[in-house]
Amino acid sequence: MPSAAIVTNIQGYSIHDGPGIRTVVFLKGCPLRCKWCANPENLQGYPQIGFISKLCTGCGRCAKTCRFGAIIPGNGQRIDREACTRCGECVETCYYKALIRYGETKTSEEVFAKVRRDKMFYETSGGGVTVSGGEPLTHPEFVAELFSLCHGEQIHTCIETCGCVSEKAMEMVLPQTDLFYFDLKIADPELHQQYTGMDNAQIISNARYLAKNGAKILFRQPLIPGVNDSDANIEGISAFIRSLNRSDLALQLMPYHRMGLSKYAALDQPYELEEIQVMKAEEVETVRKKYEELGVSCTVSK
């Protein structure tokens, strides 16, 4: 019986999540709670209902549908999170898409049937399939099965991972993974704990494991002003990458953005970095040059 995972989105024609044109499969569940996370709908490992207030007309259909009294009338409709069972019946009755269900259980075979439809784009562009999240390796069996099916049709595979999973999970997917996009956020363990909810010991260990076992890796760093753009962090991350003794390893900077704010509002969740502003291009370039000066090949994500 194929493994299953909770999928929030299968996004086709992506050019930012690996080489070529790709289909990205977003899975729910993550052990970290990064304060800047752009995908809050993928943090919890279960389906959730989001409410987009600007689309609500106040028609009341959702409140009439809900068997649990979880829709609160008022200025638009609001969700009583304690009463909500996340069944999604209200979503199906909303004509205006003001309600959205984040997450649906799908098997590896069901997902493969969808992603293989774009095989012609992968072949012409050198693309493939990427799993993201959340943290996709909270579902290692699902990912291994999906990637095995992809390899059966010569489809390139990529994982976007925070690295905060068991080594066993890494070991399970390694044979079927052509490329790891591996986050290195913060070098200092205490600072990592402060901004992500966990220290970086397991992340560092897994990065060493993958590097030692010949995995193809592109390290990536969400670049958050005032958090991890300091000289101390740049030096710490650079020293770690150099310690892996592989000349092919590089770092890609992913400048901070605020595109996930609407999803925090939809989930009634606070966004803790309201005061942080987007970095200017020249500020990002300064960080990139510092990494280069410290012996780390460094690019900036487009």
pLDDT per position as a tens digit, 45-54: 999 999 999 9
pLDDT of the residue at 302: 81
The answer on 274 and 151 residing in a single domain is yes
Tell me what the pLDDT averaged over the chain comes to.
Answer: 96
The answer on 67 and 196 residing in a single domain is no
d(CA 191, CA 184): 13
Which residues are CB-contacts of 241 (< 8 A; sequence separation ≥ 6)?
Answer: 184, 219, 249, 251, 296
- The torsion angles phi and psi of 171, rounded to 5 degrees, stand at -60, -35
Contact 14, 118 (CB under 8 A): no
Determine the structural domain holding residue 85 and report its residue range: 48-102
- Statement: residue 300 has pLDDT above 80: yes
Could you tell me the pLDDT band of residue 77, with boundaries at 50, 70 and 90? Answer: low
- The torsion angles phi and psi of 179, rounded to 5 degrees, stand at -155, 135
The answer on 185 and 66 residing in a single domain is no
- Statement: residue 75 has pLDDT above 90: no
Query: Once rounded to an integer, what is the mean pLDDT over residues 193-210?
Result: 98
The answer on 212 and 80 residing in a single domain is no
Query: Once rounded to an integer, what is the mean pLDDT over residues 202-216?
Result: 98
E strand spans, 103-246: 104-107, 128-132, 156-161, 179-183, 217-223
What whole-number percentage of the chain has pLDDT above 70?
A: 99
d(CA 45, CA 64): 28
Segment among 68-82, 92-106, 110-124, 271-285 with least mean pLDDT: 68-82
Query: Once rounded to an integer, what is the mean pLDDT over residues 175-179?
Result: 98
Among 23, 3, 4, CA closest to 13: 23
Cβ-based neighbour number of residue 299 at 10 Å: 14
The answer on 200 and 66 residing in a single domain is no
- SS3 letters across 157-172: EEEEECCCCCHHHHHH
pLDDT, tens digit, 9 for 90 and up, residues 225-277: 999 999 999 999 999 999 999 999 999 999 999 989 999 999 999 999 988 99
Among 87, 102, 117, the domain-final residue is: 102
d(CA 32, CA 47): 18
The answer on 246 and 170 residing in a single domain is yes
The answer on 156 and 84 residing in a single domain is no
d(CA 231, CA 298): 15
The number of folded domains in the chain is 2
The answer on 91 and 25 residing in a single domain is no
